[in-house]
Amino acid sequence: MQMDRRDFLVAAGGLAAVSLVPSVLPAALRLSEPMRVGLIGVGRQGRAILTELSSMEAVKIVAVCDSDENRLASGKGRAAGADGFADYKEMLATVKGMDAVIIATPTHQHRAIAEDCIAAGKHVYCEAPLAHTVEDAQAIASAAAATGAAGKVFAVGFEGRSNPVYTLARSFFRTDAFKDMVAMRSQFAQKTSWRFSAPDADRERRQNWRLDKAVSTGMLGEIGSHQFDVAHWYRGKLPASVRATGGVRFWNDGREIADTVHAAFTYEDGAVLTWFGTLASSFLGKEEIFVGSSSTIKLGWTHGWMFKESDAPTQGWEVYANKQQFHNDVGITLIAGATKLAEQGKLKDGVGLPNTSLFYSLESFVKAAAGQGKVSCSAADGTRSSIVAILANQSLVERAEVKIDPALLKVEG
């Protein structure tokens, strides 16, 4: 697929700038009446969600729910005027005119809450991963399959699919600008313990659910699934097997959940996705790299770059693109909304996204619920990526390669 040079170049005074996908930044969401949204779960992610929702004029937060008194108080403080509930069932039964619900509880609690929210006739956004077991993920997908007929939407919070830079990079991945897929690798590195102190043992256990092997899928599920989903989305294919290894390399505090993990996913066509995750170092942070025969794409959630091979065909627009130096390599910066920025003389200011990936994911959900588009990640896609991560964690625990049965990934939606 060749790209028309006219699609990419715009003039801004004497400057010629590259617009890789015109108008790639989503238009601001506008509704005649704000969508009334309730939030279940006001932990770390829930508070981040409240921050993003509060910046959207098209959203009114009408209720927050958390079983922990302190977190509930914090949520009510961040959502002025919202009603507070300790029981989500009471919230569903009490709050009238609530259009949508966002689920941000611990992963192992998603199933019952999602099923009840769907049964209550709400639009639902469920944080990712979708579940901690294959059975729960499939059950949620089955319940969500009926939402379309009821005029409701169900979205899963795999944020890469709504990220404008990732959407932009994917348009290149699927053309001769990238060409033959050579390798895929991704990593997550952040030096943090995942452990939080609490005044009593019961609350500490509940707060540290990610370190409880009975309910947690560890780094592969809670972190890796988001990055695996990007590869699944880009390729339109799912892996056939996975082998994961790892252990506790730094946080020797009695935990049984690995703080450092390596995983390799093999596809039917022989392609391999490798992933490295650690809580013991922050070096290189969070990134995904797709190596092609014509270029390599490097993604960093708020930024993206393309590195062209010297023998790759020149299409003309590259010479005008904004570039950055990485050691001995020069990367073409993938800038969302480059045309508009160039017209304003702000092209270099727009190298990074103006909002977080979470913002775009939530905005995509609200737009879909308002009938202004489709959800970025459906229940079916979210289920498949969640199951792949669950099986990867199974491989880590069992210390053996796990075959990914295609039958497990055949879900409705």
Q: At 341, which CATH number?
A: 3.30.360.10
What integer pLDDT is reported at residue 193 of this predicted model?
97
Question: Does residue 229 form part of some domain?
Answer: yes
What integer pLDDT is reported at residue 262 of this predicted model?
98
Give the closest residue to 390 by CA, choosing from 133, 19, 22: 133
Looking at 143, 159, 175, the residue that finishes a domain is 159
Give the closest residue to 255 by CA, choosing from 218, 283, 225, 282: 218
Question: Does residue 238 form part of some domain?
Answer: yes
Same domain, 286 and 326: yes
Looking at 104, 134, 159, the residue that finishes a domain is 159
CA atoms within 13 Å, Cβ hemisphere of 372: 15
The counts of H helices and E strands in the chain are 12, 18
Same domain, 295 and 282: yes
Question: Does residue 372 form part of some domain?
Answer: no
Question: Does residue 262 form part of some domain?
Answer: yes
Same domain, 215 and 87: no
pTM above 0.85, yes or no: yes
> CA 210, CA 212: separation in Å to the nearest integer?
6
Same domain, 167 and 309: yes
> CA 405, CA 134: separation in Å to the nearest integer?
12
Same domain, 216 and 304: yes
User: Are 285 and 255 a contacting pair, CB within 8 Å?
Assistant: no
Same domain, 247 and 341: yes
Same domain, 113 and 217: no
- The alpha carbon of 260 is separated from its chain's Cα centroid by a whole number of angstroms, namely 21
Domain that holds residue 55: 35-159
What integer pLDDT is reported at residue 324 of this predicted model?
76
> CA 84, CA 363: separation in Å to the nearest integer?
23
Same domain, 148 and 288: no
What integer pLDDT is reported at residue 346 of this predicted model?
46
Same domain, 170 and 147: no
Total structural domains in the chain? 2
Same domain, 154 and 182: no
What integer pLDDT is reported at residue 330 of this predicted model?
77
* Per-residue pLDDT tens digits of the chain, which is 413 residues long: 334 333 333 322 222 333 344 344 556 677 778 999 999 999 999 999 999 999 999 999 999 999 999 999 999 999 989 999 999 999 999 999 999 999 999 999 999 999 999 999 999 999 999 999 999 999 999 999 988 778 999 999 999 999 999 998 999 899 898 999 999 999 999 999 999 988 888 888 889 999 999 999 999 999 999 999 999 999 999 999 999 999 999 999 999 999 999 999 999 999 999 999 999 999 999 999 999 999 999 999 999 999 998 888 776 656 556 777 777 777 778 876 554 544 445 445 546 788 999 999 999 999 999 999 999 999 999 999 999 999 999 999 999 999 999 999 998 76
Question: Does residue 29 form part of some domain?
Answer: no
Residue located via tokens 């319940």 = 143
What integer pLDDT is reported at residue 25 of this predicted model?
54
Give the domain CATH number at 100. 3.40.50.720
Looking at 136, 159, 182, the residue that finishes a domain is 159
Same domain, 69 and 151: yes
Q: Which residues contact 238 (CB under 8 A, 6 or more apart)?
A: 232, 267, 384, 388, 404, 406, 409
Give the closest residue to 369 by CA, choosing from 84, 26, 59: 59
